[in-house]
Amino acid sequence: MSESRSAGPAPAVKLDDRLESVLDAGPAKKLGEVFGIHAVEDLLRHYPHRYLTPGQPLGERAPADGTHVTVVGTVVSASLLQNRNGGKRLEVVLATDDQDVKATFFNGYKVQHNIKKGARMMMSGTVNWWPKDKPKNWSLSHPDYRTIGGDSDDLTERVRAGGALRGPVSVFDFPFVPVYPASAKMQSWDIAPAIKDVLDRLDPIADPIPAQVRAARGLIDLDTALRTIHFPETKDQVTAARDRLRFDEAAALALVMAVRKHEMADRAAEPCPPRTDGIAAAFDSRLPFELTAGQLEVAGDIAADLAQPHPMHRLLQGEVGSGKTIVALRAMLQAVDAGRQCALLAPTEVLAAQHFRSLRAMLGELGSGGELGAADPAARLVLVTGSMSVKAKREALLATVNGDAGIVIGTHALIQDNVEFFDLGLVVIDEQHRFGVEQRDALRAKARAGTTPHVLVMTATPIPRTIAMTLLGDLETSTLTELPRGRSPIESKVVPGKAYPKWVDRAWERIREEVDRGRQAYVVCSRIGDEPPKKGQEPETTAVVDLYEALGAGALAGLRVGLLHGRLPGDEKDTVMRAFAAGEIDVLVCTTVIEVGVDVPNATVMVIMDADRFGVSQLHQLRGRVGRGGHAGLCLMVTDANPAGQAMARLQEVADTSDGFQLALLDLRQRREGDILGAAQSGTTSTLRLLSLLDHLEVITEAQDFARAVVDADPALDRHPGLAAMMRAAIAEERLEYLAKG
């Protein structure tokens, strides 16, 4: 593997060794650049995602277009064909164990001497579905390839081996050939020899999990697991190695959460006990309706949390319109009664302004503190957004810093350095997935020195990271399951625009029909369209400014069509939303600024353009803007996605269910858990390799019990250095600060 290293016995290897001191410069550099693998332990925890064996099928019969796959099989045909431009291509059919896979080499004459009928080969490349308009078949375009077995040294990677395998050995000669997560820049067959080289020289690994714990759970030791996960000889060895390493992942994360929870419990927060003679009690007595049993139960849990001298960290989830806002308002009034201030953080100016108006309306004179004719007692509400006039913002900030404002509602503007609170006791975050941990922490840091404010985060569709944290025991969770009285069902349909353009025409007709009945509609686009186009590229999605003009002059001509997007001036956005709420606009063509919080009961139909460009959470939130009154809602999701692809399947699943939590689980299962210990919120970068937070709840529960017992007895893990190192291996040093903020 390393001809550049000096002759003689190769040096022993330890888990914390840097790869550049162990491998040749080329492979070490590639592993770092492509996969972020820099140390021996990083490399050994880059596990195979499957193995090639006799009888081993391809991982998926129909992998998604553009994905990178590795297949193994026997060449049944290799035909050199003439191209229209005069060149020649080699078309190969590779018989795998459950289907034939086609591969095309564009400069066929260069590779035809290497790819012969009857050869056993491994090919790795990008999936290409065709024809593009209605894909029916797929192939690999100019894949990398290797011959498996035989004596062709130039096509078979040779590595150093030890024990019974000493001497030149191909990594493809093992009964289970590991196939690793790879890329075009570094293939699986480049990774396998590097791992084999490292394992041959690796010192025995000390096991951080006590022997009695391993015995009780039937787990093998770490040294054996890390070796056999890469080059097993039996299926049982694969299972045993995965079980052990999966428990390690669960235990490492559970240790992180247990330590974090212990530290959170030690933080100080100002207690806010409920009062019977305050604004909260007066608000309850004036409500024109009764709270649901679920709302009362959740409100009781939150009230008890607020009364404690350590910070609440609770997730409030519930369907769109299930009453989360009124529960949060009661919590804020409890904090105001205790002499504390509250901050309500909203993701958009439209939503912040909507919250300000709706809370003032719900409170009436109880929310007019500081004004003539205010009730006694009464809370003062102020709004802080980036587009406010200098005079209005100055007045709001003054009321915030001197304590006159009990409830401060705002956008990211609340996080700015010039915003100071007199005594911040509770932070409420609406649609928490729209804010990063750093942003939330910047707001929490505005509490008095030595204290941490209580935190309540609200969402209708938890993002995967939130579900992951919840399953790992990091968040206390309350769920509102009852829909509010008077809410109408929402029917959702997927509209394949490219395949059936007349269906799109019918969508505009449905809007006209609803407007004729006195109703209103939304049309949502994924981008604004005032950005300059990229040179030589046509936009792939519909722009809101273009569609607004096209609909107003075409399909919706004669209707009152309004335009709303995030780059409009703040006062113009507010004017448009007020006009739509007042029924002065029939159809609002907009971006996702209306995703959350916008409440227009008369809106009954929504058309979402390029729906495949939106996440599951966004789609669910968007369609929740219709059907909020006494009339049924309709959501039409227009897409040009591949009818046989994953994007179309995802849209259909969204259309088939209205359960927000089930949709969150769908999102989690599709995107996986994401980087639950870092800032990333997609599955592309994950600390989880073998552990699924959906499929391995029993393992997680066992790991939680183990971690909590350890941390209860040794909070700093001083007596468990191996476990502390395992925890650090799961979470990079820079992420420890991130988690402390979360």
Residue 471 has pLDDT above 80, yes or no: no
Mean pLDDT score, 632-647: 90
Cα–Cα distance, 91 to 68 (Å, whole number): 19
Range of the domain at 647: 490-657
- 596 and 349 in contact (C-beta within 8 Å)? no
How far apart CA 179 and CA 705 sit, in angstroms, is: 34
Are 502 and 554 within one domain?
A: yes
Number of residues assigned to the chain: 742
- In a shared domain, residues 307 and 442: yes
Is the CB of residue 524 less than 8 Å from the CB of residue 590?
Answer: yes
Q: Do 623 and 495 fall into the same domain? A: yes
Q: What is d(CA 189, CA 573) in angstroms, rounded to the nearest whole number?
A: 56
Is 410 within 8 Å of 343 (Cβ atoms)? yes
- Going by pLDDT thresholds of 50, 70 and 90, the confidence category of residue 590 is very high
Between CA 88 and CA 107 the distance in angstroms is 6
- CA dist., res. 266 & res. 452, Å (int): 11
Domain final position from 613, 628, 657: 657
Rounded Cα gap, residues 26 and 194, in angstroms: 11
DSSP per-residue codes, 547-590 = HHHHHHHTTTTTS-EEEE-TTS-HHHHHHHHHHHHTT--SEEEE
pLDDT of res. 736: 43
Q: What is the C-alpha R_g of the chain?
A: 30
pLDDT of residue 260: 83
Per the CB < 8 A criterion, the answer to whether 139 and 123 are in contact is: no
- Kindly state whether residue 643 falls inside one of the protein's structural domains: yes
707, part of any domain:
no
- At 156 the pLDDT is 34
- Mean pLDDT on 281-296: 90
Which candidate, 188, 202, 229, 231, places its Cα nearest to that of 30?
Answer: 188
For 579, residues 6+ apart whose C-beta sits below 8 A from its C-beta are 562, 585
Task: Please report which helix (H) or strand (E) contains residue 214, including its range.
Answer: helix 211-217
Phi, psi for residue 720 in degrees, rounded to 5: -135, 65
CB atoms within 10 A of CB 108: 22
In this prediction, residue 693 has a pLDDT band, given cuts at 50, 70 and 90, of: confident
Domain-located, residue 556: yes
* Cβ atoms of residues 650 and 670 within 8 Å: yes
Within this chain, do residues 471 and 497 fall inside the same structural domain, yes or no? no
- Among 72-76, 248-252, 329-333, the least confident range: 72-76
E strand spans, 390-524 = 407-410, 424-430, 454-459, 476-480, 490-496, 520-524
Mean pLDDT of the region 184-200: 87
Tokens, residue 108: 């066929």
d(CA 572, CA 578): 10
Q: Which of 110-119, 436-445, 550-559, 728-737 has the lowest mean pLDDT?
A: 728-737
Rounded mean pLDDT, 164-180:
60
Core vs surface per residue 499-509: b (16+ CB within 10 A) or e = eeeeebeebbe
Backbone angles phi, psi at 447, to 5 degrees: -75, 170
Do 507 and 444 share a structural domain? no
Report the 10 Å Cβ neighbour count for 620.
Answer: 28
pLDDT at 683 > cutoff 60: no
Q: Buried b vs exposed e over 400-431: b needs ≥16 C-beta within 10 Å? A: beeeebbbbbbbbbbbeeebebbebbbbbbbb
Q: Is the pLDDT of residue 408 over 60?
A: yes
pLDDT at 149: 60
Amino acid letter at 511?
I
Q: How many CA atoms lie within 13 A of 169 on its CB side?
A: 19
Query: Which residue shows structure tokens 């009695």?
Result: 212
465 located within any domain: yes
pLDDT in tens, 50-74: 887 654 445 567 787 887 777 888 8
pLDDT at residue number 738: 44
The verdict on 438 and 468 lying in the same domain is: yes
Which two three-digit tokens encode residue 650?
């995802």
Structural domain ending residue among the three candidates 617, 636, 657: 657
What are the backbone angles phi and psi of residue 42, rounded to the nearest 5°? -55, -45
β-strands 424-430, 169-170 pairing: unpaired
Taking the C-alpha atoms of residue 275 and residue 252, their distance in angstroms, rounded to an integer, is: 42
Choose between 314 and 597: higher pLDDT: 314
Q: SS3 breakdown of the chain: % helix, strand, coil, rounded to 5? A: 40, 20, 45
Helix (H) or strand (E) holding 516: helix 501-516
75 contact partners, CB below 8 Å, separation of at least 6 = 92, 93, 94, 95, 115, 116, 117, 118, 119, 121
- Assigned domain for 559 exists: yes
Distance (Å) of CA 403 to CA 253, 311, 340, 341: 40, 21, 9, 7
pLDDT at residue number 610: 95
Section 497-525 average pLDDT: 95
Residue at 706 is within a domain: no
Q: Which helix (H) or strand (E) holds 186?
A: none
Do 536 and 588 belong together in one domain? yes
The answer to whether residue 630 is domain-embedded is yes
> In this predicted structure, what is the pLDDT of residue 642?
85
Same domain? 640 vs 515: yes
Q: Is the pLDDT of residue 492 over 90?
A: yes
| Residues whose CB is less than 8 angstroms from the CB of residue 110 and which lie 6 or more positions away in sequence, other chains included | none
∠ CA 346-352-355, rounded to 5°: 105
Percent of the chain clearing pLDDT 90 (strictly above): 46
Find how far residue 164's CA is from the centre of its chain. 46
Residue 3's φ and ψ, nearest 5 degrees, are -70, -20
For residues 617-642, average pLDDT: 89
Q: Where are the alpha helices (DSSP H) in 267-402?
A: 279-286, 293-306, 324-337, 349-363, 390-401
Co-location of 496 and 356 in the same domain: no
Q: Which residue has the higher pLDDT, 379 or 672?
A: 379
What's the pLDDT tens digit per position in 8-20?
Answer: 556 789 998 999 9
pTM of the predicted model as reported, rounded to 2 decimal places = 0.72
Same-domain pairing of 425 and 333? yes
Give the chain's domain count.
2
Q: Residue 243: is its pLDDT beyond 90?
A: yes
| Pair of tokens at residue 733 | 């040093």
Q: What percent of the chain has pLDDT over 70?
A: 85
Q: Is residue 505 within 8 Å of 590, Cβ to Cβ?
A: no
In a domain, residue 503? The reply is yes
Q: How far apart are the first and last CA of the chain?
A: 44
490, 623 in Cβ contact below 8 A?
A: yes
Q: Are residues 304 and 355 in the same domain?
A: yes
Spell out the residues 6+ positions from residue 430 whose beta carbon is closer than 8 angstroms to its own. 328, 344, 345, 346, 347, 351, 355, 458, 596, 597
Helix (H/G/I), strand (E/B), else coil: 633? strand
Give the domain-ending residue among 480, 503, 529.
Answer: 480
- Do residue 310 and residue 455 come from a single domain? yes
Question: At 571, which CATH number?
Answer: 3.40.50.300
